[in-house]
Structure 1
């Protein structure tokens, strides 16, 4: 835990209750060769409470709290659930899922869940998860995943985003295309009654995905967790009750 600039011992104006104190905002000077946009991004990161929380709690990024808050509301990561995390790098969503599905069997008397994370790149091991390098859009990827699971999944979740082109409309279409591909993959591997959770961007193209999900699931909701920055157009679609 960070100490105040004056050190751990008593100083003038000491206030042990925490009242009357305020967090100091970190300001970043624009360095030579660094764009203003990069400087503002770095300053926002250094002052982001979710980034600080992730560092303090050993999570692999602020995105972990997006799935944590989403699950707090919709309750799909339950003990015994078999979960597939698409595009799982750096592993924050897997970290959240491990205790919730009881992947390590630490909750006595509860079913033991299973978490399978796949990504195009290798991911540092997460205790309680099985991680593989796999392109989920390759032919036969759904069969490979079901083989690793030993059956079908209860949850398919995705926080994937396509590489940015710098053109807002193009990036939106790319991300939605990736999300639709993830949805079709989920249709192939989900157990009846299962859940699909994915990041989408507001902007028009998500309408077709919503219609498709409403045909395949009994309940479809949209949620913007507190961990998602307010100036971001991202939200999360939660589709529950897969019709099979």
Structure 2
């Protein structure tokens, strides 16, 4: 069924938020943007835990890395929107009787509300032995490692850029340890120059590396996603 991602057909009048006492102007702008964001409305209507669910949905619609029978690992998985998308696509609940049943594992340092069909690990993926623990849980290697992690904003653009690139690099090296040959790595990065070294490493490790800004990613955001396919092992 085709979905309307353009926001057409919705009311044209935008919600305006007045600046309240004690609320920063930046907070008011954020709230107004949320109230007028069609993806936020869609997430609520379709039962997803956040608008980010549509980002992984759009990436998979294009590159088809979430396949029935796949073993998927989501790093920094809270609040769980990406997990919700992965479960039906890899048949983690076994609802597609003629398709292989996949597995979805979510990893986060904080407790995450359960998602049907998902196995949750409350741990730091950068801790010693985390890769071994995951492999033991899977009984082997993963087919996809994905990450929508972002460091807490400092308000300084360059600092935030370096922080998120560091997180992405850590996720990539974790993926190198747990991916099966032919596997896929998907992660959020920020455009800004410092991601060049990471791109070079990924091009050495994978057959194909694409940089994509899905439609669900806000136009005024510097975020993009790297999709690295065909892990060389």
TM-score (norm. length: structure 1): 0.91
Say which SS state the counterpart of residue 96 (structure 1) adopts: helix
After TM superposition, list the pairs within 5 Å mapping 1:18-57 onto structure 2. Answer: 22-57=11-46
Partner of 1:188: 177
Say which SS state the counterpart of residue 136 (structure 1) adopts: coil
Mapped to 2, the partners of 1:189 and 1:164 lie a distance apart of: 29
Q: Among 196, 221, 229, which residue is 1:207 paired with?
A: 196
Say which SS state the counterpart of residue 198 (structure 2) adopts: helix
Say which SS state the counterpart of residue 14 (structure 2) adopts: coil
Mapped to 2, the partners of 1:21 and 1:137 lie a distance apart of: 43
Q: Give the root-mean-square deviation of aligned CA atoms.
A: 1.2
After TM superposition, list the pairs within 5 Å mapping 1:110-129 onto structure 2. Answer: 110-129=99-118
Unaligned runs of 5+ in 2: 1-7
Say which SS state the counterpart of residue 51 (structure 2) adopts: coil
Unaligned runs of 5+ in 1: 1-18
Mapped to 1, the partners of 2:105 and 2:125 lie a distance apart of: 12
Mapped to 1, the partners of 2:86 and 2:96 lie a distance apart of: 14
Task: Spell out structure 1 runs of 4+ moving beyond 3 A.
Answer: 19-23
Q: How many residues are paired up?
A: 226
Mapped to 2, the partners of 1:117 and 1:184 lie a distance apart of: 17
TM-score (norm. length: structure 2): 0.95
Distance 1:21 1:239, change over 3 A: closer
Partner of 2:126: 137
Mapped to 1, the partners of 2:9 and 2:229 lie a distance apart of: 45
Per-residue deviation, 1:164: 1.3
Mapped to 2, the partners of 1:137 and 1:123 lie a distance apart of: 18
Distance 1:48 1:21, change over 3 A: closer
**Which entry has the higher C-alpha Rg, 1 or 2?**
1
Mapped to 1, the partners of 2:38 and 2:155 lie a distance apart of: 27
Mapped to 1, the partners of 2:110 and 2:35 lie a distance apart of: 27
Structure 1 residues 39-82: Cα deviation after superposition (integer angstroms, max 9, x where no partner): 01000000000000000001000000000000000000000000
Partner of 1:100: 89
